[in-house]
Amino acid sequence: MQEGKKANMSKDNKLMSMSEAIDRYVADGDVLYLGGFIQQEPFAAAHEIIRQGKRDLTVSKCAALILVDQMIGAGVISHLITTFTWNPLPATAHCFVRALTKHAPRKVEIEEYSILALNLAYFAGALDLPYVATKTMLGSGFDWEQSNSGVKNRLKFEESPFTGERVCLVPPIKHDVGIMQVQRSDPYGNAQAWGMLGEVRYGLQSCEKLIICAEEIVDTDIVIRDPNRTLVPAFRVSAVVKEPWGSHPAPMAGYYDMDWPYNAYYEKETRTEELFREFMKKWVYGIRDRKDYLKLLGQDRLEALRPERFESDPVSYGRLTTHFGVPHA
């Protein structure tokens, strides 16, 4: 187990199965960051967390969609840090609503921020700052100094010592473990991602341990030829899991589309606690791993989600022909 800010070895092969990664690096009571802003969500990892029966997790996710809804319904989350929670159809996230309005299956404490405030909290966490000042959230119901709305968050509202203007102070949010599904990684954890990356850069940097789930495992040579695309370097990564289709039903740019009919199916099949239990029996508890899950979905369905290739023009980083002005031998 990694302790504190100890770096991981850049040259350790960290490939392992999802069950091993979750077992080794996620503990009961952990503060978890789940990456992916609507796309690239770590569904396979979340399902394994549920199967292993982890308890009392604090989950922080900028856009909490049905992945978080499932974790709430399964009772593994006790504290949720987020900006909004719904089914992206858009429709109601039923487990979320049941947990908040009826405390079923358990009460979930909710700590809510706007997207900018939460991103700045990740930023402060990533940079190890005591706080960041911003001009959002003022005056609204989240500004508890003004509104007495009863909403709980860790924001403070102060006058700037420099200009005297009223500002919102955002505390750092740090995480024990971060999990993200990316397009590709080498076996050491040099992970590359593209598309809408949302909040993930600072989200991942605010975590002590990282589990990288990848559609493909590639040679380091592929990574080093395009270093601009690397999201996290190997020394920050504890585990690398090869998990194709690991974000379904969320999309993965270049690999698969969002499965909109599945989101509609989820909405219908989770309207009651009983229905939700049946749903989870089929898609999570009753199967061993992601391979079983993909068999349940069926090859035809997966193929239908696959996009045509749409490549950007390659860029050249340049291979220089001289060194200190002297032509290479």
Partner 1 sequence: MTKTAYNTAELVTVMSARALDDGKIVFGGAGMPLISCILAQKTHAPGLTILFEGGLIGPHIEAGKFPPSTTEQRCARRANMLLSITDILLLQQRGYVDYGFLGGAQIDQYGNLNSSFIGDPDKPKVRLPGTGGANDIASLASKILVAMHHEKKRFVEKVDFITTPGYLQGGDSREKAGLTVGGVYQVITHLGIFGFDKETRRMCIQALHPGVDIEEVKERTGFELIIPDDLPRTEPPSQEEIRILRELDPDKRYTTPKEE
- Site membership for partner 1, residue 86 (CB under 8 A): yes
Contact 294, 302 (CB under 8 A): yes
- Site membership for partner 1, residue 59 (CB under 8 A): no
Which of the ranges 135-143, 223-231, 277-285, 296-304 carries the binding residues for partner 1, by CB under 8 A? 135-143
For residue 48 the two structure tokens come to 């394994």
Nearer to partner 1, 157 or 285 (CB): 157
- Site membership for partner 1, residue 152 (CB under 8 A): yes
- Site membership for partner 1, residue 104 (CB under 8 A): no
For residue 218 the two structure tokens come to 């590639």
For residue 103 the two structure tokens come to 């405390």
For residue 52 the two structure tokens come to 């292993």
List the x/- string, 179-218, binding to partner 1 by CB under 8 A: ----------------xxxxxxxx----------------
3-state SS record for the chain: CCCCCCCCCCCCCCECCHHHHHHHHCCCCCEEEECCCCCCCCHHHHHHHHHCCCCCEEEEEEEECHHHHHHHHCCCEEEEEEEEECECCCECCHHHHHHHHHCCCCCCEEEECCHHHHHHHHHHHHHCCCCEEECCCCCCCCCHHHHCCCCCCCCEEEECCCCCCEEEEECCCCEEEEEEEEEEECCCCCEECCCCCCCHHHHHHCEEEEEEEEEEECCHHHHHCCHHHEEECHHHCCEEEECCCCCCCCCECCCECCCHHHHHHHHHHCCCHHHHHHHHHHHHHCCCCHHHHHHHHCHHHHHHHCCCCCCCCCCCCCCCCEECCEECC
- Site membership for partner 1, residue 153 (CB under 8 A): no
- Site membership for partner 1, residue 84 (CB under 8 A): yes
- Site membership for partner 1, residue 81 (CB under 8 A): no
Nearer to partner 1, 44 or 93 (CB): 93
Smallest distance from the beta carbon of 54 to partner 1, in angstroms? 24
- Site membership for partner 1, residue 143 (CB under 8 A): yes
- Site membership for partner 1, residue 75 (CB under 8 A): no
Which of the ranges 11-19, 76-84, 181-189, 234-242 carries the binding residues for partner 1, by CB under 8 A? 76-84
Q: Which of 93, 211, 223, 305 binds partner 1 (CB under 8 A)?
A: 93
- Site membership for partner 1, residue 276 (CB under 8 A): no
Nearer to partner 1, 53 or 90 (CB): 90
Q: Which of 20, 28, 53, 103 binds partner 1 (CB under 8 A)?
A: 103
Contact 213, 224 (CB under 8 A): no
- Site membership for partner 1, residue 150 (CB under 8 A): yes
- Site membership for partner 1, residue 70 (CB under 8 A): no
Strand order in the sheet with 132-134: 132-134, 166-170, 156-159
Neighbours of 15 (CB within 10 A): 18
Smallest distance from the beta carbon of 261 to partner 1, in angstroms? 12
Contact 162, 170 (CB under 8 A): no
- Site membership for partner 1, residue 225 (CB under 8 A): no
Nearer to partner 1, 24 or 166 (CB): 166
Residues 246-275 contacting partner 1, CB under 8 A: 251, 253, 257-258, 260
- Site membership for partner 1, residue 77 (CB under 8 A): no
- Site membership for partner 1, residue 39 (CB under 8 A): yes
Contacts with partner 1, residue ranges (CB under 8 A)? 37-39, 62-63, 82-86, 88-90, 93, 96-97, 100-103, 112-117, 119-120, 122-123, 134-143, 146-147, 149-152, 157, 165-168, 195-202, 251, 253, 257-258, 260, 310
